[in-house]
Amino acid sequence: MGWLGVFVLASGVSDGPAAAQQPPTADGARARIDVLAGATTLHGSAVLFVGGGALVGLGDRLWLGGVGMVSSSVHYTDSKGAGPSVGIGYGGLIVELEALDWSAGSLSASVLVGGGNADVSDPLVGAELGSDNFLVLHPVFRFRRPLRAPLDIGLEAGYRFAMGVEDLPGLNRRDLSGPTLSVSMHAIRR
């Protein structure tokens, strides 16, 4: 079953918008924990990633928090014909704005601004060949659908921009930048 199948299956367990909506808390505070898994590219090859975050609601449509992600490694051929592997991790501050909210779900746009690290290693001997820190800008569009309170499921599409990559053998910022597609679960205190 593909990603879309998981989303459709999970969407079917919803008791509708009334079951997913909790009454607002007495103090008006909102908080959200996100867990996500998806696919992205590194050096032109598809890799998997997982991540998570914690956000607080500021007003009715604005969320602010922190998020982090880590990818699996991918082997590539550098200029010497060798086959090292590269993996990345990144995180930072996320700002999300819910643009549309209706009974079937919500559509939002967010941007992560932060830092990351990429490690290049030789998998045959386990030696690190290079490591570099870089800046990350990661805009994302997200559709969230209510499930059973307090859970929502989401589909997300974005693009990770890596900037300042200098010390990785055979790699540059374009190799660490790439599209992202993920499925997420959100536990929300409303």
CATH number at residue 117: 2.40.160.20
Is 126 a member of any domain? yes
- Mention every residue, 6+ apart, whose C-beta is less than 8 A from residue 28: none
Q: Quick check: 137 and 163 in contact, CB under 8 A? A: yes
Is 22 a member of any domain? no
pLDDT of residue 78: 59
Is 61 a member of any domain? yes
* Cα angle 168, 123, 68; round to 5: 60
Q: How far apart are CA 90 and CA 67, in angstroms?
A: 9
Is 62 a member of any domain? yes
3-state percent helix, strand, coil for the chain, nearest multiple of 5: 10, 65, 30
Q: How far apart are CA 74 and CA 134, in angstroms?
A: 18
Domain interval for residue 91: 3-13+31-189
Is 182 a member of any domain? yes
Q: How far apart are CA 111 and CA 101, in angstroms?
A: 19
Residue type, 141: F
Domain total in the chain: 1
pLDDT of residue 5: 41
pLDDT of residue 171: 86
Q: Quick check: 92 and 115 in contact, CB under 8 A? A: yes
- In this structure, the number of other CB atoms found within 10 A of the CB of residue 152 comes to 24
Is 76 a member of any domain? yes
Is 145 a member of any domain? yes
Q: Where are the alpha helices (DSSP H) in the chain?
A: 3-11, 17-20, 173-176
Q: Quick check: 3 and 156 in contact, CB under 8 A? A: no
pLDDT of residue 8: 36
Give me the residue label for tokens 């055979």.
170
DSSP-derived 3-state class of residue 13: coil
Residue type, 50: V
Q: How far apart are CA 66 and CA 57, in angstroms?
A: 12
What residue ranges of the chain have pLDDT lower than 50? 1-26
